[in-house]
Homo-oligomer: A and B are copies of this chain.
Amino acid sequence: MNHNIKEIAELAGVSRSTASRVISGKGYVSQEVRQRVTAVIEELQYKPSAVARAMVSQRTHNIGVIVFREWQPIVSHPLYGKLIDAILLAAEARGYSVFLKTDQEMSLRSTGYLMEQRVDGLILISRLRKNVIDYVKKFNVPYLMVNGSTDDPEVIHLVSNDEEGGQRVAEHLHGLGHRRFLVIAGPQEHRSHNLRLEGFKRGLAKLGGAENVEIAPSPESGFEHGYRLMAERADDFLRDGRTAVFATNDMLALGVMKALLERGIDVPGRASVMGFDDVASAAMFAPALTTVRVDTERMGRDAVGLLDRLIRKEEGVPMLNEYASELIVRQSTRPGPSGHETAAAPPEGEG
């Protein structure tokens, strides 16, 4: 069932060269011969070997995607899943096949495989440890980083505009009249979490009138961590008269909501909650989560596009690519004590 170009050529009564010309569509071939060869190819379900082609062309038309794996292996990470989807789609459109790899802190094994000239380029996702990046740098393979945690200036980055997004959160919550906040701040080594928090603080400072902001650091960014942190702090939250929680990503926020709801604290009735990312489950949760959407699809698409330019050795590929974020208002936020519009209205207001 597996044929090669020599067989095709023989069966069509031509030379390998001619068969090759028919397949690639390059060079002169008479109409008649072309048809003859095509017929044989069709009949035998012949597909030229990608391996052999890669051998001579020095191009595999494969790209590698490496995702950091925290704790339990998670490609099914709600955010990175979306990103990978977008990358897959874009890669396909450009004729690339995608190798997916997850990598952990120390083991460079799986990354090493890709360095065996298996790929034309590499997309690195998330908080990959420095050693992975350093390792990749050693090889002669174009690469770029999406939503990365370093700001290594040598590395091409695609990032969401997290700081601006953080400001949006502040504006929204402040605009609704909230003045006393709890922030569940994900791992601050991670660029995104850090900037979201900074943006939030800056936004609040600009608007003025915030009475209190408590920041609860979370060493990890998963659902359970948001849940646990909020569960521990629920009583304090009520006692301190806080009315809004901002978690620096959606998974944390979902955990927060669940902890609140389980304790009979109504969301958004008693507490407004906001997240960041617009993960799929954000819209599904009851109540649906108000959040900031990052245009993951565009990021994925651009990642492939830029990588493709790198592979083709085009000049002038931008080093830093930022993506605007968009406020998505859903059901988890509601006017707070300082009333709606602008401010001043007494802490009243119907359901």
Q: Which residues of A contact B (CB under 8 A)?
A: 1-2, 45, 47-55, 60, 62, 73-76, 78, 81-82, 84-86, 88-89, 92, 97-102, 109-110, 112-118, 138-140, 223, 254-255, 257-258, 261-262, 280-281, 284-286
Given contacts A280-B76, A286-B286, contact A98 B97 (CB under 8 A): no
Which of chain B's residues have a CB closer than 8 A to the CB of A113?
50, 97
Which of chain B's residues have a CB closer than 8 A to the CB of A101?
88, 92, 97-98
> In the complex, how many angstroms separate the beta carbon of A228 from the nearest chain B beta carbon?
13
> In the complex, how many angstroms separate the beta carbon of A239 from the nearest chain B beta carbon?
23
Given contacts A76-B85, A89-B73, A284-B255, contact A1 B112 (CB under 8 A): no
A92 to B103, CA, bound (A): 10
Contacting residue for A51 out of B2, B45, B60, CB 8 A: B60
Nearest to A52 among chain B residues (CB) is: B55
In the complex, given contacts A92-B102, A285-B285, what are 12 additional A-B residue pairs having Cβ atoms less than 8 angstroms apart?
A50-B116, A51-B54, A75-B84, A76-B85, A76-B280, A78-B280, A81-B81, A98-B99, A100-B100, A258-B286, A261-B286, A286-B286
Number of chain copies forming the complex: 2
A254 touches B138 (CB 8 A): no
A114 touches B92 (CB 8 A): no
A47 to B136, CA, bound (A): 13
A118 touches B100 (CB 8 A): no
A97 to B81, CA, bound (A): 19
A49 to B116, CA, bound (A): 5
A102 to B86, CA, bound (A): 11
